[in-house]
């Protein structure tokens, strides 16, 4: 017979247990006998997640509030289209009884920090535009289509239809004499076309509010942020503002 082999049995046993543990074996025995030949049960189905389009489609069936006070409370509440987004919603400001309502697309980055719509450089230009026609923020009603700024900085197609419906309902509840649309998204929402085609004329738009139809005179123009990028457009924007106030008394 060969020479005796000196084996450290405790070390060998620990090494074997460690190998089985690394292989995924974490239970040495069961409380009851196990049939290792049985077919394992199917894994549970993961919970179904609604897509953004499905979520919006479900919201579309919910009727909108039929009074302005109820609508304003709903607009920044848990049932609003943007309620699940990160951030704080920015509500409409100014006088809802004013003869001029102004609709913009969404808050700018500076607005998210200040909590005030049009508060940065575009806002300062906006204030000068109002002053040029003898108005200020207290003598108009300023509202955003989207009360929060999306991460992309633009309104996504899957929620745009709902925001258009909400914006048109908002305007119908306010029923201003004149509506100023600043930017392409508000222009498309109300007139159906971009600013480039919609501006230059005073249009009368009919809006439905429940069983009531409201007629509003509409002027489409450039958003102040675009005027900062293209100062040459300020002359045309000034013509739009003159058209807005023609025939109105502050």
At 42 the three-state DSSP class reads: coil
Q: Do 164 and 158 contact (CB within 8 A), yes or no?
A: no
Cα–Cα distance, 238 to 90 (Å, whole number): 27
Considering the domain boundaries, does residue 28 fall inside one?
no
Q: Do 115 and 195 contact (CB within 8 A), yes or no?
A: no
Averaged pLDDT of the chain: 85
Q: Do 169 and 210 contact (CB within 8 A), yes or no?
A: no
Burial class of residue 238, CB neighbours in 10 A (0-12, 13-18, 19+): middle
70-to-75, 202, 220 alpha-carbon distances in Å = 9, 30, 28
The whole-model pTM stands at 0.75
Considering the domain boundaries, does residue 110 fall inside one?
yes
What pLDDT does 19 receive? Answer: 65
What pLDDT does 1 receive? Answer: 47
What pLDDT does 72 receive? Answer: 95
Q: Do 134 and 250 contact (CB within 8 A), yes or no?
A: yes
What pLDDT does 211 receive? Answer: 74
What pLDDT does 47 receive? Answer: 55
Question: Residue 236 is part of which domain span?
Answer: 88-245
Give 5-23 pLDDT, tens digit per residue. 555 666 666 666 666 666 6
What CATH number should be reported for the domain holding residue 177?
Answer: 3.40.470.10
What pLDDT does 63 receive? Answer: 86
Considering the domain boundaries, does residue 200 fall inside one?
yes
Considering the domain boundaries, does residue 106 fall inside one?
yes
What pLDDT does 205 receive? Answer: 94
pLDDT in tens, the chain (250 residues): 444 555 566 666 666 666 666 665 655 566 666 676 777 777 776 655 545 455 444 444 568 999 999 999 999 999 999 988 888 999 999 999 999 999 999 999 999 989 999 999 999 999 999 999 999 999 999 999 999 998 888 888 888 999 999 999 999 999 999 999 999 999 999 999 999 999 999 999 999 877 778 999 999 999 999 999 999 999 999 999 999 999 887 5
Cα–Cα distance, 206 to 163 (Å, whole number): 18
Give 92-104 pLDDT, tens digit per residue. 999 999 999 999 9
Cα–Cα distance, 166 to 231 (Å, whole number): 32
Q: How many domains does the chain have?
A: 1
Percent above pLDDT 90 for the chain: 63
At 38 the three-state DSSP class reads: coil
Considering the domain boundaries, does residue 31 fall inside one?
no
What pLDDT does 59 receive? Answer: 47
- In 63-117, the DSSP E strands lie at 93-94, 100-104
Considering the domain boundaries, does residue 98 fall inside one?
yes
Short-list 217, 216, 220, CA closest to 246:
217
């Amino acid at each position: 017979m060969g020479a005796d082999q000196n084996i450290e049995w405790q070390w060998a046993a620990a090494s074997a247990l460690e190998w089985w543990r690394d292989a995924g074996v974490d239970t040495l025995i069961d409380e009851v006998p196990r049939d290792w030949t049985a077919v394992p049960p199917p894994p549970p189905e993961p919970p179904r997640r609604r897509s953004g389009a499905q979520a919006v489609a479900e919201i579309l069936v919910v009727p909108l509030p039929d009074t302005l006070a109820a609508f304003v409370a709903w607009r920044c509440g848990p049932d609003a289209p943007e309620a699940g987004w990160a951030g704080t919603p920015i509500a409409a400001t100014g006088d809802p009884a004013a003869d001029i309502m102004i609709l913009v697309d969404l808050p700018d980055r500076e607005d998210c920090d200040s909590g005030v719509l049009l508060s940065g450089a575009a806002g300062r230009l906006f204030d000068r535009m109002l002053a040029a026609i003898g108005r200020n923020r207290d003598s108009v009603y300023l509202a955003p289509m989207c009360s929060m700024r999306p991460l992309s900085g633009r309104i996504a197609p899957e929620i745009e239809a709902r925001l258009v419906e909400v914006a048109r309902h908002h305007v119908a509840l306010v029923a201003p004499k004149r509506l100023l649309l600043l930017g392409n998204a508000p222009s498309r929402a109300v007139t159906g076309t971009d600013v480039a085609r919609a501006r230059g004329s005073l249009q009368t738009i009919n809006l439905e509010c429940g069983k009531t139809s409201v007629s509003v005179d509409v002027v489409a123009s450039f958003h102040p942020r675009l005027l900062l990028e293209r100062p040459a457009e300020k002359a045309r924007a000034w013509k739009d503002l003159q058209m807005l106030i023609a025939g109105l008394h502050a």
